[in-house]
Amino acid sequence: MRCKIVTRGKPFQSKLAPYEAEIKELKASGASIRAITAEMASRHGLAVSHNAVASFMKTHGLSHKSFLDGISQTRKYELFKQLRAIWTYDSTSIEGNTLTLGDTMAVLEYGLTVKGKPLKDHQDVVSHAKGVDFVQSLIGKRKITVDDLFTLHRIVVGEASHDIYRPVGAWKREDNGTYGAENGKSIYMPYATADDTPKLMDAWLKEFNKALKSVKTQEAALEAYVFAHVAFVRIHPFFDGNGRLARLLANIPVLVAGFPPIVVPSEARCDYIRELWEYQRSVGVISLVNCDLLPELSRLDNLRSLVKDWWQATLDLVDEAKVTSPQRQ
């Protein structure tokens, strides 16, 4: 008697595994399970069910609460673009970018250039928006790595450096600092030394990854944002782009917890810089000897209050979208 050999298709886990990065990007953009399933079928001819995709995402840590949940697919996509443009405009404007919000939206939406505005300003806007996309792609990761930070730095800073002492996608190789004024005098304030930076950033990443696993509430997300943001700025691990990276990275725990990003408004630039300056001056230069990432937390009470107020703008935008464009059941 001849045995009948039955061939079976690959289990859905094997079928979907090669496309994990694509699924992660689709999820980060706000795509629903149904939309991701349809997209996988369209792109790769994969015959898998919605339940199979949902199970795969859960198994691989790609299924998480999102602030875009409960909003229709079309509005979800538009809201994400709107938030990305606002986030990009405000963050680059704080660093001196001359493009207006309208200019920023035109550059990102239509690829237009604005007459009379520097090419670098256009490039910085496009690079920051790509940085937002990359941050979104990291949401499903269980652990953020040094390589992730280096990749984000390359994306945000843009072109490769030709100066070995000012590398892109690597820790700074020269000490850096900033100037401020106290009692009518100009004062130089150093950040962490280049030699201390790698170990200090290892400590920062350790605390940062703890937050990714533990942040659940809005209050905890606020605390995680302030901690990650200020501690990163104290170290200033790169030769350039530290402010933009701090405002991007500190939002990862916020997004992981299912809340919209905290955006520092450009009009609050002076208050924002003053609070960071005064805190750093009060607690001293961070080093491997003075290695507490964020000492004297009470000194951050005013900044924490400001951040909470700034956050309300994106919280309101999302709430409005959920009221005006609910997700069909």
Spatial CB neighbours of 308, under 8 Å, sequence gap ≥ 6 = 222
Spatial CB neighbours of 201, under 8 Å, sequence gap ≥ 6 = 146, 149, 171, 235, 237
Cα separation, 136 vs 128, whole angstroms: 12
Spatial CB neighbours of 65, under 8 Å, sequence gap ≥ 6 = 257, 258
User: DSSP state, 326?
Assistant: B
Is the distance from CB of 248 to CB of 156 less than 8 angstroms? yes
122 as an active site residue: the answer is no
Q: Which of 122, 153, 229, 236 is catalytic?
A: 236
Quote the radius of gyration of the chain (alpha carbons, Å).
Answer: 22
| Dihedral sign, Cα of residue 230, residue 232, residue 235, residue 240 | negative
Q: Which residues are catalytically annotated?
A: 236
